[in-house]
Amino acid sequence: MGVAAASAVVVLAAGCGGGGPQSSGDQKLTGDKIVLGVLNDQSGAYSELSGKNSVAAVEMAIADFTAKYGDKAVTKDITVETADHQNKPDVANSKAQEMYDRKGVDLILDVPTSSAALKVADVAKEKKKLYFNIGAATTDLTGKSCNKYTFHYAYDTYMLANGTGKTTTEQIGKNWYILYPNYAFGQDMEKSFSTAITAAGGTVVGKDGAPFPNTSGDFSTFLLKAPNLNPKPDVLGTMQAGAELVNVVKQYNEFKLRDKGVGLAVGLMFLTDIHSLTPAALAGTTYTDAWYWNFDAKNREFADRFQQKAGTRPTFAHAANYSAALQYLEAVQAAGTDDADAVVKGLEGKTVEDVFLRNGKIRAEDHRVVHDAYLAQVKPQSEVTEPWDYVKVLKTIPAAEAFRAPSADCKL
């Protein structure tokens, strides 16, 4: 389904409009327009944390870009194509090819589910088209599967483990039982967390990969196993996300594992997860966040505008999709063309400060977008003073510490 931004309805003829800082009167846009593609889960486990509301975030970016440049914009004909990849790598592969080949998409955004994300990276490399991944966490996107046309924007398993795994081991418990979804994302999370836990002086006493997607929603076999391990874990580290995380936490509370001496650590959590479970179910849980809507006035102003459009507060995935779309449009404006190689050249090494990226930089070495991250904690219900304000930020993790150094496996 093609979704046209409300502000992007005027088609400029080639050679009109003046262009951006480096453009002349002769524009170099494919079809005299820009087409952005949002490819994500719109019906399954990850649909709430990103989904159709990420399309709304990208539309906001288009509107802000158009308002900023007016008649000097490289084009006012900017539209959005969107598709549901159903968390299936083969569907993601075919949808990405369709977007690039048939829909004329210049940039694909989002793509949660790491196995799907890696497939799209292969397509972007083959087609020589831009791809900003927001929703997937695998470090392979900036490791062995990196390529010239793929950028990893919001977070990854190293960022999550370096914050949550390290801090929880140092402050709460040394012995861990890790439960992860058994596909690329979960496997990468397990490895990253195990490394961080061990480095902090802890031990992984057990680990299990649960089916993904877990269509039954039943995690009892794994959860009931935890308190009977020898040695008994101090911490259950769940690496599930979205609706599957909600089910794990509900069953963790149902089986009263905290009363049995097994604490809870969450590898990846979104604002929508807390909203579904309520703060009472997660009070005191510490996790690593890429962005929080009520962190400061700048974030809140964006969140207020987003809520007016989407009817809900934004997760970090929504804010990152907005930021990524806007930075791509700025790069096209500066280059005066949507030629992928020219846009990549303008992006590499660029420092960025916007509503999502604080102390942001697009690394030329591996296309990892680094930025400040946050150690966060879910508030008890008694401290929640307004809807959706469920979190307090305990610590800012500087961009230089939040992400790993460029990997030797990455050969751009």
pLDDT digits (tens, 9 = 90+) for 317-357: 999 999 999 999 999 999 999 999 999 999 999 999 999 99
CB 141 within 8 A of CB 403: no
- Are both 34-155+293-371 and 158-288 of the same fold? yes
Mean per-residue pLDDT over the chain, rounded: 93
Give this prediction's pTM: 0.90
Q: Which residue has the higher pLDDT, 48 or 12?
A: 48
Share of the chain above pLDDT 70, in %: 93
**Model confidence pLDDT, tens digit, residues 61-70:** 999 999 999 9
CB 377 within 8 A of CB 164: no
Question: How confident is residue 171, by pLDDT bands cut at 50, 70 and 90?
Answer: confident
Residue 109 has pLDDT above 70, yes or no: yes
Question: How confident is residue 139, by pLDDT bands cut at 50, 70 and 90?
Answer: very high
Using the structure block, give the residue that is written with the tokens 């999550």: 160
State residue 284's pLDDT score.
Answer: 87
Average pLDDT of the residues in 390-394: 95
Least Cα distance to 237 among 248, 224, 221 occurs for 248
Strand order from edge to edge, sheet including 150-152 = 2-4, 78-84, 34-40, 107-110, 130-133, 150-152
Spell out the CATH class of 158-288: alpha beta
Question: CA end-to-end span of the chain, whole Å?
Answer: 33
Residue 278 has pLDDT above 70, yes or no: yes
State residue 339's pLDDT score.
Answer: 97
State residue 210's pLDDT score.
Answer: 97
Residue 231 has pLDDT above 80, yes or no: yes
Between CA 235 and CA 332, with CA 291 as vertex, the angle to 5 degrees is 135
**Model confidence pLDDT, tens digit, residues 280-328:** 999 989 899 999 999 999 999 999 999 999 999 999 999 999 999 999 9
Cα–Cα dist 170/207, whole Å? 20
State residue 268's pLDDT score.
Answer: 95
| Lookup: tokens for 319 | 């804010």
**Model confidence pLDDT, tens digit, residues 113-123:** 999 999 999 99
Average pLDDT of the residues in 222-230: 97
Give the three-class secondary structure for 4. Answer: strand
Average pLDDT of the residues in 116-143: 98
Q: Which residue has the higher pLDDT, 5 or 93?
A: 93
Question: How confident is residue 7, by pLDDT bands cut at 50, 70 and 90?
Answer: very low
Give the Å distances, CA to CA, from 152 to 111, 112, 127, 180. 11, 11, 18, 22
State residue 68's pLDDT score.
Answer: 98
Distance of CA 46 to the CA centre of its chain: 11
Cα–Cα dist 351/369, whole Å? 9
State residue 283's pLDDT score.
Answer: 92
Residue 126 has pLDDT above 90, yes or no: yes
| Lookup: tokens for 388 | 């959706």
Domain 34-155+293-371: which topology? Answer: Rossmann fold (3.40.50)
Cis omega (within 30 of 0) for bond into 231 = yes
> Which residues on neighbouring strands pair with residue 4, listed in sequence order?
79
State residue 316's pLDDT score.
Answer: 98
Position 3, amino acid = V
Look up residue 368 and give its DSSP letter: B
**Per-domain residue ranges of the chain:** 34-155+293-371, 158-288
From the DSSP assignment, how many helices (H) and strands (E) are in the chain?
14, 16
